[in-house]
Amino acid sequence: MTAIDFSAAAHERLSPNGFKQWRALLGRIMRTMIGRGELVVAVLTPLVFTLGFYLPLKYVMSVRGIDYAQYVMPIIVLQTMAFTMMSNAQLAAFETMNGFNERMQTMPVASLAPLGARICAGIVRSIVALAAAIGFGYIIGFEFVAGLGQAVLFCVFSLAVSLVLSLGADALGVITKNPQALSQALALPTLILGMLSCGFVPVTGFPEWIQPFVRNQPISQFSISMQAMTTTGVSLDLLWPSLVWLAGAAALFVPVGVWASRRRG
């Protein structure tokens, strides 16, 4: 008869480890993403945005003396990050709908391990999509004129936007438990704020009555800051409205995301 090992070392091996749980859950999501070709979609999505945004307005903007490849790049990246947000929301909703999150809550699993795994998988998707977007941007004539430091800031800021939005979308996914309805609900405000922003055309291209909204809404402020990062370099005076919007969103979405991940039922 085999003796049971009650040693401290054996107990330590059997004790739940939050980091290992997070790593296992992240590995599970990554294998699923690769198996379903989601990383390929993450590469193709910015290509669709690049062609769909750049080609229709290229000639019109060139007549106005605007290098449109340079101008439109931030909104292409922001829309790509929004795609990651919606993918995270769908994953969270699906895992809640099929009972996976509920099963995790009945097991000795760190409460934030599933959330951390989903968010980190989303960041991986965002990095792949961001690299693809920049690559396609260079093909149409975009470049980082302001230097390496501003290019790094551009990438970090883009991923920060993706992270904050993904936390809020994850919370919605856990609460609603409906991937299809959630995608439709998130797509509408993303589309409206994107089209009514300075990312596609300068604010002077909009009717005067709506210009204050266009100029000051978050997508416009993000686009303005990111455009400066790629050309002359962004100053703190130009960047602070974007930081305020981002910090405000983080102050709302981070606690909501944590609460939604920990709630039961």
pLDDT at 38 over 50: yes
What's the pLDDT at 10?
Answer: 46
Using 50, 70 and 90 to split pLDDT, how confident is the model at 19? confident
- C-beta of residue 170 within 8 angstroms of C-beta of residue 115: yes
Mean pLDDT of the chain: 89
Site of tokens 């909009």: 206
Q: What percent of the chain has pLDDT over 70?
A: 93
Using 50, 70 and 90 to split pLDDT, how confident is the model at 16? low
The amino acid present at 117, given as its one-letter code, is A
Rounded to an integer, the average pLDDT of 166-173 is 92
Q: How confident is the model over 51-62, as pLDDT tens digits?
A: 999 999 899 898
Buried b (16+ CB within 10 A) or exposed e, 99-119: eebeebeeeebbebbbbbbbb
What's the pLDDT at 13?
Answer: 52
pTM above 0.85?
yes
Rounded to an integer, the average pLDDT of 136-156 is 96
Using 50, 70 and 90 to split pLDDT, how confident is the model at 180? confident
Using 50, 70 and 90 to split pLDDT, how confident is the model at 239? very high
What's the pLDDT at 102?
Answer: 76
- C-beta of residue 176 within 8 angstroms of C-beta of residue 101: no
Q: How confident is the model over 132-144, as pLDDT tens digits?
A: 999 999 999 999 9
Distance CA 201, CA 62 (A): 12
Rounded to an integer, the average pLDDT of 192-219 is 93
* Helices marked H in the chain: 8-14, 18-35, 38-63, 68-97, 100-105, 113-140, 148-176, 179-195, 211-216, 218-230, 236-262
Residue ranges covered by each domain of the chain: 17-200+210-262
What's the pLDDT at 175?
Answer: 87
What's the pLDDT at 64?
Answer: 87
Q: How confident is the model over 247-259, as pLDDT tens digits?
A: 999 999 999 999 9
What's the pLDDT at 11?
Answer: 45
pLDDT at 1 over 60: no
Higher pLDDT, 111 or 74: 74
Beta carbons within 8 Å of 157's beta carbon, 6+ residues apart: 222, 225, 226, 229, 242
What's the pLDDT at 100?
Answer: 80
What's the pLDDT at 14?
Answer: 47
Buried b (16+ CB within 10 A) or exposed e, 223-241: bbbbbbbbbeebeeebbeb
